[in-house]
């Protein structure tokens, strides 16, 4: 096992400020197949975290795929789980948080996006803006996350660049500031013109390693351009004039406010354009931002350690059968063996062997500052949204649970396995793999999900991890709402009257389980003082009374 790339830094306030400034914590968002895995791999290649392309994903060769942790996702070739990879480039330390591409795991993706400070949006140049991209961008919008756009697959016959930018602007409602501009496409893809540096980066297909530099032709006049690209020059010059004429130069301020996205064209599979995206992340993306807690705002350079759990994952590695809590450091410095306060339980705990994730392995984490993600071994004590501090009572905000849209009840093949079933479901609920409810009127747990694939994953994990064969049948429930009321006596009356429709979630919150939309409406009309929430945040309730 390699040691972590990032050497421990000296203690002290100045060192902390210096190290925090270097951090860039980001995710890649895209519709499946746009090229997210390919780009991830190329970024890691440039960052020196992997030596060989094909390490992250080796679908064809049948090798184990690093970012695809679970057998189920390998079978399906989709990315179910999220993972974290750290690499360095150009004096910056990058934390790349992988997000599941499949829409059934959107809740998981949402939580991962709460832990990043920037995102790269990959768009397939042949397909343009696709459904999942729209949804993911909406999520980024909620926190005004700065977005860098990479328009991929220019080595194919794709759509016109102007048309693509138009589509991004009109559908995603974000201004585009092209930084590079493509010269030709498909077999005639010649490279890009860097609008800011007035430089041509020439494309060469099939470059497989990061060491090969691209030909860069600076200060070209029109005559030379026509000589070099006789077939493309007219279009290129016309388009450049149009883009320049539109006057949408890159504005750092607009980018940081999430209003404008710098756009890069390239071909991930050929390594082309990836370096420019990485440079944009290093130069423009924010270093770790201040985070809001219920009590106050926490600055990343504060000396005391704080952070929150945004994901829990089991079976990251078949050789380590454990659960890992993914924890984003928000301030201070992590050191092995440090003692922290677990805000939810009020207990102190020791973080002994936190891990950092490299491309295809994990290593012991020796030092971490704001923006870094550490993996904490967890035996059920940590839950999604939990805050850890060096003593202060803080609860970070912004880790949501959404009311599920699908509900089912497990049916056991062997009724004697009920205890194992319940244990498994409750643990999977704590992990956030599904939502688990305990209805008052029934001793069978109810499972809620956003997408049907989640049920399959749960069935698979129950079988492989808990030795329980279970199938899932429709529970006949339309939706769930978290219920609150400031008047305790009124809430008690509501609970008594509606006990057949009520239950609790894994955190003990009261939930109303409506079998139809009409039923929910009627309950809301009859109990106007009771609030019905469609989202809940860890540690507090929020959301619309919908």
**Which residues, at least 6 apart from 395, have a Cβ–Cβ distance to it below 8 Å?**
293, 294, 295, 343, 344, 387, 538, 539, 540
Question: Which among 84-92, 150-158, 256-264, 371-379 is the span making contact with ligand G4P, rule CB under 6 A?
Answer: 150-158
Which of 8, 15, 59, 257 lies at the binding interface for ligand G4P (CB under 6 A)?
59
Which of 128, 258, 262, 268 lies at the binding interface for ligand G4P (CB under 6 A)?
268
CB 481 within 8 A of CB 413: no
Site of tokens 């030795």: 467
Give yes or no for residue 132 binding ligand G4P (CB under 6 A).
no
Cβ neighbours of 49 (radius 10 Å)? 24
Q: Give the x/- contact pattern for ligand G4P in 155-184, rule: CB under 6 A.
A: xx----------------------------
Q: Give the x/- contact pattern for ligand G4P in 270-289, rule: CB under 6 A.
A: x-------------------
Q: CB-wise, 54 or 249, nearer to ligand G4P? A: 54
* Residue 37: CB minimum distance to ligand G4P, A: 3
* Residue 314: CB minimum distance to ligand G4P, A: 23
Listed in sequence order, the DSSP H helices in 47-186 are: 71-76, 106-113, 131-142, 161-172
Give yes or no for residue 34 binding ligand G4P (CB under 6 A).
yes
Q: CB-wise, 276 or 438, nearer to ligand G4P? A: 276
Which residues in 4-33 contact ligand G4P (CB under 6 A)?
30, 32-33
Give yes or no for residue 187 binding ligand G4P (CB under 6 A).
no
Cβ neighbours of 52 (radius 10 Å)? 12
What is the spatial distance between Cα 444 and Cα 446, in angstroms, rounded to a whole number? 6
Give yes or no for residue 267 binding ligand G4P (CB under 6 A).
yes
Question: Which among 179-187, 227-235, 268-276, 297-305 is the span making contact with ligand G4P, rule CB under 6 A?
Answer: 268-276
Q: CB-wise, 119 or 369, nearer to ligand G4P? A: 119
Length of the chain: 546
Q: CB-wise, 6 or 34, nearer to ligand G4P? A: 34
Reduce the DSSP state of residue 540 to 3 states and report it.
strand
Q: Give the x/- contact pattern for ligand G4P in 93-122, rule: CB under 6 A.
A: --------x---------------------
* Residue 90: CB minimum distance to ligand G4P, A: 23
Output the CA–CA distances (angstroms, integers) from residue 470 to 46, 387, 410, 412, 413, in the order listed: 45, 34, 6, 5, 6
Q: CB-wise, 155 or 254, nearer to ligand G4P? A: 155
Give yes or no for residue 128 binding ligand G4P (CB under 6 A).
no
CB 96 within 8 A of CB 27: yes
Q: What is the 3-state secondary structure (H, E, C) of 303-370?
A: CCCEEEEEEEEECCECCECCEEEEEEEEECEECCCEEEEECCCCEEEEECCCEEECCCCEEECCCEEC
Output the CA–CA distances (angstroms, integers) from residue 233 to 139, 184, 314, in the order listed: 39, 9, 54
What is the spatial distance between Cα 462 and Cα 458, in angstroms, rounded to a whole number? 6
What is the spatial distance between Cα 83 and Cα 85, in angstroms, rounded to a whole number? 7
Binding site for ligand G4P (CB under 6 A): 30, 32-38, 57, 59-60, 101, 152-153, 155-156, 267-270
């Amino acid at each position: 096992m390699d040691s972590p790339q990032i050497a421990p830094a000296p203690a002290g306030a100045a060192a902390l400020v210096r190290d925090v400034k270097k951090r860039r914590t980001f995710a890649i968002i895209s519709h499946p197949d746009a090229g997210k895995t390919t780009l991830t791999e190329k970024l890691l290649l440039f960052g020196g975290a992997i030596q060989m392309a094909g390490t992250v994903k080796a679908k064809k060769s049948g090798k184990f795929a690093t970012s695809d942790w679970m057998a189920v996702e390998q079978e399906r070739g989709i990315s179910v789980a999220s993972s974290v990879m750290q690499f360095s480039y150009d004096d910056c330390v990058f934390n790349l948080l992988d997000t599941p591409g499949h829409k059934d795991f959107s809740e998981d993706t949402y939580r991962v996006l709460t832990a990043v400070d920037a995102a790269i949006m990959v768009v397939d140049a042949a397909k343009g803006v696709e459904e999942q991209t729209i949804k993911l961008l909406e999520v980024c919008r909620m926190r005004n996350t700065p977005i860098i756009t990479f328009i991929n697959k220019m080595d194919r016959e794709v759509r016109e660049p102007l048309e693509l930018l138009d589509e991004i602007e009109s559908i995603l409602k974000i201004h585009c500031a092209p930084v590079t501009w493509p010269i030709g496409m498909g077999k005639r893809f010649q490279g890009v013109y860097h609008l800011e540096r007035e430089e041509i980066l020439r494309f060469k297909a099939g470059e497989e390693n990061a060491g090969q530099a691209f030909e860069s032709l600076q200060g070209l006049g029109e005559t030379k351009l026509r000589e070099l690209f006789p077939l493309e020059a007219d279009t290129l010059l016309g388009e450049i004039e149009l883009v320049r004429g539109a006057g949408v130069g890159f504005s750092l301020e607009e980018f940081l406010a999430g209003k404008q996205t710098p756009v890069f064209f390239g071909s991930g599979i050929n390594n082309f354009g990836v370096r420019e995206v990485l440079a944009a992340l290093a130069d423009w993306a924010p270093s770790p931002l201040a985070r809001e807690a219920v009590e106050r705002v926490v600055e990343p350079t504060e000396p005391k350690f704080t952070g929150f759990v945004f994901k829990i994952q089991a079976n990251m590695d078949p050789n380590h059968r454990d659960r890992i809590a993914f924890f984003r450091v928000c301030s201070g410095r992590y050191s092995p063996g440090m003692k922290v306060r677990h805000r939810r339980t009020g207990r102190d705990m020791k973080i002994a062997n936190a891990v950092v994730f490299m491309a295809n392995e994990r290593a012991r984490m020796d030092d971490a500052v704001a923006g870094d993600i550490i993996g904490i071994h967890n035996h059920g004590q940590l839950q999604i949204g939990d805050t850890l501090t060096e003593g202060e009572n803080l609860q970070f905000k912004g880790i949501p649970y959404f009311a599920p849209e699908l509900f089912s009840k497990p049916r056991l093949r062997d009724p004697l396995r009920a205890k194992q079933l319940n244990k498994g479901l409750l643990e999977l609920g704590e992990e956030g793999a599904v939502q688990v409810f305990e209805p008052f009127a029934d001793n069978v747990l109810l499972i809620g999900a956003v997408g049907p694939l989640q049920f399959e994953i749960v069935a698979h994990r129950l079988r492989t991890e808990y030795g329980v064969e279970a199938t899932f049948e429709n529970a006949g429930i339309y939706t769930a709402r978290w219920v609150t009321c400031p008047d305790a006596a009124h809430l008690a009356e509501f609970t008594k009257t509606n006990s057949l429709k009520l239950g609790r979630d894994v955190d003990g919150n009261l939930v109303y389980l409506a079998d139809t939309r009409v039923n929910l409406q009627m309950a809301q009309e009859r109990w106007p003082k009771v609030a019905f929430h469609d989202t809940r945040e860890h540690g507090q309730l929020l959301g619309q009374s919908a």
